[in-house]
Chain A
Amino acid sequence: MAVYRFKTPISEEEVRKLKVNDVLYVTGTIVTARDQAHKRALEYHKLGKELPVKLEGLAVFHCGPIVKKEGDKWVAVAAGPTTSTRMDQFEDEFIKAFKVRVVIGKGGMGKRTADAMQKYGAVYGAFTGGAGVLAAKAIKNVRTVEWLQDLGMPEAFWVFEVEDFGPLSIAIDSYGNNLYEDVKKKAEEQRMKIYEKLSA
């Protein structure tokens, strides 16, 4: 296990240093996107419409934060990850279209996303589910928010400036390794043994 600290924009060369089980901390810009924001960003891309930030080399975070307004500034209160599998249907296109280098979430992603990560150079960093304050502490500034009006607080596209955002456990690397698949395979191998023990 190696520990890396990267600043955005992250290059393909940098991201390809990361292997599963490594730990990454990100400093720079990350954007949140859940189901609806992924869908809309890809629609914008198709129509040639600009997003509020250029995503190349940034991290996309599967997160629906609690954010509160202090004066005219937004402050992140709690901002842990949401379940990433819901975004599997968009993520390969998203990585291809926007060249994000790090996808942050919880619970892992499937082969389609892992294949895109291998092809275009990106990784999946697992942030501890539920650790919402730990995440919020690393968010130093809320730069902007898009689509808040109609998508609401959890689904909006938040742009955060972060410092040492992590620990992100690299669970899918750009070489086709997927820690979740390994764990699942092992659990599957255990299943019959567990049955036997339970029925003894």
Chain B
Amino acid sequence: MTEFKKVVEDTALSLLKLAVVQLPSDIKDALNRAYKEETSEAGRVQFEAILKDIELAEKENTPLCQDTGIIIFYVKAGAKAKDLDAIETALQNATRRATKEIPLRPNAVDPFTQKNSGDNTGRYIPYINWEITKSDFVEITAFPKGGGSENVCTIGMITPGEGINGLKKFVIDAIIKAGAMPCPPTIVGVAAGGGADISIKLAKASLLRPLNEPNPNPDLDKLERELYEAANSTGIGPMGLGGKFTVLGVRVDYAHRHPASYPVAVAFQCWAARRATARIYPDGTVEYLTHKAR
């Protein structure tokens, strides 16, 4: 095995472990703030359990939720980095090792035979989202995605005539319909335009933006705040038991659209918003961006 391949595999294994055990600080801060402001009795009971669980998982070095998700990676591949063809196999190996060593719950099931592969790998899984960048480093994000919040993700085609108001309604309808299912308070990723596939991909990727980073586009930032207020006035609350916090944040992204189409995608992320990112430099050093390496 080449040196680079081994570094990628070991780093991806660490990322999976960090992701499932320890939430990034922006998520923990948001949950703590929400707990302080939550007034519903049932909602406060839920926040107390959530915060206790986060603390226990870190203390015991164990996955905070039993649904360790379907494994997804986002890879920014520096065009000047070498051995990029080794990454895919390295990420598959890391997933197998993570399943055994952490352990992760085996979550990769063949949709036709219903057989669970047992090691979280299978056709297209772990899924890798590639992006080519100008750098000489490789940046890997591990994004274990739970099933409960995935089951309420939705994509719809509104008419261009309905425009932005149609989009807002679509998002609120999706949040009300999802109710308790995606383990609220959630992060909601919204994307418009592109096409059916492009919008849901952008919506999902937008979930990776930390909650303390506002949208760089002022119009979208305003829209995010507006949708956040609207979502939290539904009263669905923590775990759907009623309360002020249905969402922790709303993220909006877009692609230009076909004149006849207006795709809107809504992706949900449960409160256990697990992600971990690291960079691998040409000399083999690894820099962890979301967590302190353990």
Contacts and interface: CB of A to CB of B under 8 A. Distances in A.
Contact of B49 (A21, A65, A68, A167): A167
B42 A132 contact: no
Interface in B46-97: 46, 48-50, 52-53, 56-57, 60, 62-68
Interface in B262-294: 270-272
A150 to B, nearest CB: 10
Interface in A3-43: 21, 23
B195 interface: no
Contact of B239 (A23, A78, A129, A197): A129
B169 A130 contact: no
B110 to A, nearest CB: 12
Interface in B160-174: 165, 168-169, 172-173
A132 B64 contact: yes
Contacts of A85: 181
B106 interface: yes
A64 B60 CA distance: 20
Of A107, A130, A187, most buried by chain B (CB within 10 Å of CB) is: A130
A85 B179 CA distance: 12
Nearest to A76: B66
A134 interface: yes
A130 B181 CA distance: 12
Contact of A130 (B45, B50, B107): B50
Nearest to B238: A128
B49 A132 contact: no
A167 B66 contact: no
A130 B53 contact: yes
A66 B68 contact: yes
Contacts of B227: 198
Interface stretch (A48-56, A88-96, A178-186): A178-186
B172 A80 contact: no
B64 A198 contact: no
A183 B270 contact: no
B46 A169 contact: yes
B63 A78 contact: yes
A128 B240 contact: no
Interface string B147-169: 11001000000000000010011
Nearest to B175: A187
Interface string B217-246: 000000000110010011111011110000
Nearest to B274: A130
B106 A153 contact: yes
B32 interface: no
Given A80-B67, A152-B106, A129 B183 contact: yes
Contacts of B48: 167
Contact of B169 (A83, A167, A188, A195): A195
A114 interface: no
Given A80-B66, A130-B272, 8 more contacts: A79-B66, A107-B148, A133-B63, A137-B56, A152-B106, A167-B45, A169-B45, A198-B172
29 contacts: A65-B66, A66-B105, A78-B63, A78-B66, A106-B148, A107-B179, A107-B180, A108-B180, A108-B240, A128-B49, A129-B148, A129-B239, A130-B146, A130-B272, A132-B63, A132-B65, A133-B57, A133-B60, A133-B64, A152-B106, A152-B116, A171-B241, A183-B241, A186-B235, A193-B233, A194-B233, A195-B168, A198-B227, A199-B168
